[in-house]
Amino acid sequence: MSEKIGFIGLGAMGGPLARHLARSGADLTVFDLNADNVKAVTAEGAKAATSLVEAVKDCDVVFTCLPASKEVRAVVLGEGGVLANVSKGTLIVDTSTVDPETTDDVAAAALEAGCAFADAPIGRTVDLAEQGQALFMVGATSNDFGRLKPSLEAMGSTIHHCGGPGTGIRTKLVNNFLAIASAQLTAEALALGAGLGLDVDRAMNVVLDTTATNGHLARLWPAKVLAGDIEPGFTIELAFKDMCLVTDAARQAGVPVVMGGAARESLNLARKLDDFGSKDFSALLDVACAHAGLETIRSKA
């Protein structure tokens, strides 16, 4: 008999994941504070819960996909939360991007309660999650990874077992450090090109043919900011949150991340400019242009 699954948090990323899981035929019950988010998943075959307690009752596996560390602690560890309402042996899987201390605390609390825990933060963008192309970085024991893998395969296309509990979120921070810091560098480089009077399409053709290329130039930005679309996606506000997690984790580990600190402060400036905090993080290019007094850069291709 298939395992009964609960899913809490059906926002921009959790919603697509839960919809794919429902389409796979999983015995799935979902809960979110936003009723419209719940309806979008129940339309695919999931059952709706009216409360967190109802969502996790008698579940074998519980997924959480929440905004930040505060929400994960409240939902999993809080009074009336997940751990207070599941049976021993339940596998709790957090897909949120949080600080490693939160992951470690949740893992320890789950173990003490007789439950299993895995951290499986998500890679790639919301549009790819919608297409079933999400990537998961999983921290779990070998047994729990095997138990979890079929559900992850239903939700995404790429799954990496990074090691034991806690390794998934740490891998995610390393990944986001590179992704977000390189976005800031890319924005400044393209703004410099515009300031020097270059045609953006011709300059990109050169850069894409050298080792200077990156995923923002090659894939994401041509479909987003360079095409005039800066609606999220992944917001500058969330990028700032993640870079704060990166630099905090680096400080605690005693690892200097000079470029990370610069990227974090650049994001802090960006989120305070007009309403850019709510825009796609590719809009860092528009922010760089604004700081330089340049017109926004758009591709003519």
For the annotated catalytic residues, the residue numbers are 172
Give me the residue label for tokens 């825009």: 279
Q: Which residues contact 151 (CB under 8 A, 6 or more apart)?
A: 5, 21, 26, 61, 63, 93
- Judge whether 9 and 66 are in contact, CB under 8 Å: yes
Measuring CA to CA, how many Å separate 240 from each of 24, 276, 290? Answer: 34, 12, 19
Phi and psi at residue 280, to the nearest 5°: -60, 145
Distance CA 296, CA 48 (A): 44
Tell which residue, 59, 116, 118, 120, has the closest CA to residue 85: 59
User: CB burial class (10 A; 0-12, 13-18, 19+) of residue 133?
Assistant: middle
Output the CA torsion sign for 220, 281, 69, 9.
Answer: negative
The one-letter code for the residue type at 184 is: Q
